[in-house]
Amino acid sequence: MLRISQLLVDLYGCGAELDDTGFLMGVLEEAADVVGARIVRRVAERFSPVGVSVVLILAETHLSVHTWPELGYAAVDVFFCSEGKDPHRAWEVIKGALRPESFEVREIVRTIGNKGE
């Protein structure tokens, strides 16, 4: 049994380029690296006319960002199912890169594994 924190963050008024797939991929890679998470798959999808989804599948679950560049909005999920990988450190990397004017962080504690153990 493992109790971990997942972060769901809404970012408003981002100063960064939210329609740049390569940039967003790099941001998530850096966020994974800072906590020592292992990236097993990189997925990026561009929408028409604008908008990007980037997901990193990790050995420790996932990191995702979905953007609405026309609104300056991004939705970020930070989910590390491993002890000692602080999602707040990853979020700090993402915040520094996307430069939101404001944001809302929700921290959800999840019990991974067998509740009885």
Assigned token pair, 99: 């430069």
61 binds its own copies (CB under 8 A): yes
Q: Which span sits near its own copies by CB under 8 A: 21-29, 55-63, 89-97?
A: 55-63
Among 42, 89, 98, 49, which Cα is nearest to 70's? 49
Q: CB of 26 within 8 A of CB of 98?
A: no
- Residue 31 CB neighbours (<10 A): 25
Q: Which residues bind its own copies (CB under 8 A)?
A: 6, 8, 10, 12-13, 40-41, 43, 45, 47, 53, 55, 57, 59, 61-62, 64, 66, 68, 71-73, 75, 77, 79, 81, 102, 104, 106, 108, 110-115
